[in-house]
C-alpha cells in the first residue's frame, strides 16, 4: 500500500514538474515572439521613411527649399517633435531626429509616438537649435542595426578615413559636419573627479569653456583626425551605448563646415 502511494506521489510530482516546464517554455516562447515582433515592427516603421514623403519638383521650385527640408516639414505635421534628420553615408543611420521636454520619452518611442524598444534618435531636451553651441544627440544601439548601432563603425579608423562627414538637416538648413574626435567614455558618478563629462556641454558660457570641450574631446580621440574647432563653430555630438564597461558610451564629435 505504501509502495503504491509512493508511486502515485512520484507520478504527481512528475506531472507538476512537466507542467511547470511547459509553462516556462510557453512563456519563454511567447516572450521571444513578442520581442521579434517588436523588432520587425521597428524595422518596418524606420525603413525608407523619406520614400513615403512625396515632394514634387514644382513644390521644390516654388518653395526654393531643399527637398529634404520640405520632407521634414511634412513629417512634422505627423509629429511636431521632429526637428531634424541625420544621415551618415554607408551606414543605416538615416533617421528623423526628435526632441521633447525630457530625455526619456524617445528612449522607447518611435517617431510615430508608438512604443518601440529601439526608440528614436533624439536631441537633448536643453538644446536650442538657434543658440546652442553643441547639438547633443542620443540613440540606442540595437540588434536590428537601427538607430546608432552603426556609429560604432567609427571605432575603425579606416572607416573614418572614407566617412569623415555627417549630414544633419534642420527645418532651416541642410548642413555638413566634419568629424573632429571619436572616443570612448562613460556616464560618471557624481563623486568622480577630474573626468570629462561631455554630456554636460550644450551651451558654452564663454570661449574658454568651448575650447575646454574641444580640447578634451581631441585628447580622448582614439585617432587623430587633424580637425579642430574654433569658438562659434557649431558642434554636433552623437552619443550611444558602449558595452565594454558599465554605463559605457561611444561618442563622435563634429563641427559644421557647410550649410545651404
Name the residues annotated as catalytic: 241
Q: Cβ–Cβ contacts within 10 Å for residue 243, how many?
A: 9
DSSP 3-state of 137: strand
The alpha-helical segments, DSSP class H, found in the chain are 2-46, 57-63, 67-78, 157-161, 207-220
Number of residues in the chain = 260
Q: Cβ–Cβ contacts within 10 Å for residue 56, how many?
A: 10
Q: Cβ–Cβ contacts within 10 Å for residue 215, how many?
A: 14
Choose among 225, 253, 255: nearest CA to 239: 253
Contacts of the segment 79-84: beta carbons below 8 A, 24+ positions apart: 79/111, 79/112, 79/113, 81/106, 81/111, 81/113, 82/111, 83/123, 83/129, 83/170, 83/171, 84/123, 84/129, 84/168, 84/169, 84/170, 84/171
Task: State phi, psi for 19 to the nearest 5 degrees.
Answer: -65, -45
Q: Cβ–Cβ contacts within 10 Å for residue 235, how many?
A: 23
Q: What residues pair up with 240 in beta bridges, in sequence order?
A: 250
Amino acid at each position: 500500500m505504501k509502495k503504491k502511494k509512493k508511486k502515485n506521489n512520484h507520478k504527481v510530482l512528475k506531472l507538476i514538474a512537466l507542467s511547470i516546464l511547459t509553462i516556462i517554455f510557453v512563456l519563454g516562447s511567447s516572450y521571444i515572439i513578442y520581442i521579434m515582433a517588436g523588432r520587425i515592427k521597428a524595422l518596418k516603421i524606420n525603413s525608407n521613411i523619406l520614400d513615403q514623403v512625396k515632394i514634387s519638383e514644382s513644390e521644390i521650385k516654388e518653395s526654393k527649399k531643399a527637398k529634404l527640408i520640405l520632407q521634414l516639414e511634412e513629417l512634422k505635421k505627423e509629429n511636431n517633435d521632429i526637428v531634424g534628420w541625420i544621415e551618415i553615408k554607408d551606414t543605416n543611420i538615416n533617421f528623423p531626429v526628435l526632441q521633447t521636454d525630457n530625455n526619456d520619452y524617445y528612449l522607447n518611442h518611435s517617431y510615430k509616438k508608438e512604443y518601440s524598444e529601439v526608440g528614436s534618435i533624439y536631441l537633448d531636451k536643453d538644446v536650442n537649435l538657434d543658440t546652442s553651441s553643441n547639438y547633443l544627440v542620443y540613440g540606442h544601439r540595437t540588434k536590428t542595426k537601427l538607430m546608432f548601432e552603426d556609429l560604432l563603425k567609427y571605432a575603425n579608423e579606416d572607416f573614418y578615413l572614407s566617412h569623415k562627414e555627417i549630414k544633419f538637416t534642420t527645418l532651416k538648413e541642410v548642413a555638413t559636419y566634419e568629424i573632429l574626435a571619436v572616443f570612448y567614455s562613460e556616464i560618471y558618478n557624481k563623486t568622480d573627479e577630474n573626468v570629462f563629462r561631455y554630456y554636460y556641454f550644450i551651451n558654452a558660457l564663454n570661449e574658454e569653456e568651448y575650447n575646454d570641450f574641444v580640447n578634451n574631446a581631441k585628447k580622448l580621440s582614439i585617432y587623430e583626425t587633424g580637425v579642430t574647432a574654433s569658438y562659434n563653430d557649431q558642434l554636433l555630438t552623437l552619443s550611444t551605448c558602449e558595452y565594454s564597461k558599465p554605463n559605457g558610451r561611444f561618442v563622435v564629435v563634429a563641427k559644421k563646415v557647410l550649410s545651404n
